[in-house]
Amino acid sequence: MWDYTETLKDHFFNPRNAGVIENPDAVGEVGSLACGDALRLMFNLSDNGTISDVKFQTFGCGSAIASASALTELIKGKTLAEAEEITNQDIVEFLGGLPEQKMHCSVMGREALEAAIDNYRTGSTEKHELEGNVVCTCFGVTDEEIKRVAQENNLKTVEQVTNYCKAGGGCGGCRGDIEEILQQLQREIPQPTADQDDKTIKQKSRSMTNIEKIKLIQQTLDQQVRPALQADGGDIELIDVVENRVIVAMRGMCAHCQVSEFTLAEVVRAKLHEFVSDELIVEELKT
Amino acid sequence: MKNVYLDNNATTRMADEVLNEMMPFLTERYGNPSSMHTFGGENRHNVDRARQQVADLLGCYADEIIFTGCGTESDNTAIRGIAHLDNKKRHIITTRVEHPAVRTTCRQLQREGFRLTELSVDEKGRLNLDELRQALTDDTALVTVMFANNESGVIFPLEQIAEIVKEHGAILHTDAVQVVGKIPVNLSRLPVDLLSFSGHKLHGPKGVGVLYVRRGTSLLPLLLGGHQEFGKRGGTENVAGIVGLGKACELAGAHLDEESERVGKLRDRLEQGIIKNCPDVKINGDVTARLPNTTNIGFEYIEGEAILLMLDRLGIAASSGSACTSGSLEPSHVLRAMGIPFTSVHGATRFSLSRYNTQEEIDYVIREIPAVIKRLRELSMFTPKDASPQAPYERKPEIALSPGLGERES
List domains and CATH numbers for chain A.
6-121 (3.90.1010.10), 134-188 (1.10.10.1100), 198-284 (3.30.300.130)
Judged by CB atoms closer than 8 Å, whether chains meet at A59 and B380 is answered as: yes
Query: Is the model's pLDDT at B398 over the cut of 50?
Result: no
- Chain A positions touching B399 (Cβ under 8 A) are 171-173
- Shortest CB distance from B379 goes to which of A34, A58, A137? A58
Query: Is the model's pLDDT at B28 over the cut of 70?
Result: yes
Q: Which residues pair with A257 in a beta bridge?
A: none
Q: In degrees, to the nearest 5, what angle opens at C-alpha B309 toward C-alphas B332 and B282?
A: 50
Confidence category of residue B341, pLDDT binned at 50, 70, 90: confident
- Chain B positions touching A172 (Cβ under 8 A) are 399, 401-402, 405-406
pLDDT of amino acid B396: 38
Alpha carbons A66 and A14: distance in angstroms, whole number: 9
Alpha carbons B65 and B195: distance in angstroms, whole number: 10
Locate the DSSP E strands across chain A: 26-32, 37-45, 51-59, 134-136, 141-142, 234-242, 245-252, 281-284
Query: Is the model's pLDDT at A178 over the cut of 50?
Result: yes
pTM across the whole model: 0.81
- Chain B positions touching A40 (Cβ under 8 A) are 381
Judged by CB atoms closer than 8 Å, whether chains meet at B380 and A62 is answered as: no
pLDDT of amino acid B395: 42
- Chain B positions touching A173 (Cβ under 8 A) are 396, 399
Q: Coil, strand or helix: which one is B137?
A: coil
Per-residue pLDDT tens digits for B304-338: 999 999 999 999 999 998 777 666 778 889 999 99
Confidence category of residue A236, pLDDT binned at 50, 70, 90: confident
Judged by CB atoms closer than 8 Å, whether chains meet at A61 and B406 is answered as: no
Query: Is the model's pLDDT at A287 over the cut of 80?
Result: no
Please state, rounded to an integer, the average pLDDT across all residues of chain B: 92
Element (H, E) at B72: helix B71-83
Per-residue pLDDT tens digits for A123-135: 876 655 557 888 9
Query: Is the model's pLDDT at B394 over the cut of 50?
Result: no
Which has the closest alpha carbon to B152: B360, B297, B355, B357? B297
Confidence category of residue A263, pLDDT binned at 50, 70, 90: low
- Shortest CB distance from A38 goes to which of B328, B381, B395? B381
Query: Is the model's pLDDT at A191 over the cut of 80?
Result: no
- Chain B positions touching A175 (Cβ under 8 A) are none
Per-residue pLDDT tens digits for B105-143: 999 999 999 999 999 999 999 999 999 999 999 999 999
Q: Provide mean pLDDT across the span A227-236.
A: 72
Judged by CB atoms closer than 8 Å, whether chains meet at A172 and B401 is answered as: yes
Confidence category of residue B399, pLDDT binned at 50, 70, 90: very low
pLDDT of amino acid A226: 79
Alpha carbons B146 and B121: distance in angstroms, whole number: 12
pLDDT of amino acid B401: 37
Exposure b/e, A203-227, CB count within 10 A at least 16 = b: ebbeebeeeebbebbebbbebbbbe
pLDDT of amino acid B400: 37
Interface residue ranges in chain B relative to chain A, Cβ cutoff 8 Å:
301-306, 309-310, 313, 322-325, 327-331, 342-343, 346, 378-382, 386, 391, 393, 395-399, 401-402, 405-406
DSSP type of residue A221 = I
Give the β-pairing of B65-68 and B91-95. Answer: unpaired
pLDDT of amino acid B392: 52
Judged by CB atoms closer than 8 Å, whether chains meet at B380 and A137 is answered as: no
Judged by CB atoms closer than 8 Å, whether chains meet at B309 and A58 is answered as: no
Q: What are the residues whose beta carbons fall under 8 Å from the beta carbon of B323, sequence distance 6 or more?
A: A36, B329, B330, B331, B346
Tell which wins on pLDDT, B119 or B86: B119
Judged by CB atoms closer than 8 Å, whether chains meet at B386 and A33 is answered as: yes
CA atoms within a 13 Å half-sphere pointing along the CA-CB vector of B221: 16
Q: How far is CA A105 from CA A3, A112, B307, B312, in A?
A: 15, 11, 17, 21
One-letter amino acid of A160: Q
List domains and CATH numbers for chain B.
4-8+256-387 (3.90.1150.10), 16-252 (3.40.640.10)
Q: What is the number of CB-based contacts under 8 A between chain A and chain B?
A: 95
pLDDT of amino acid A132: 83
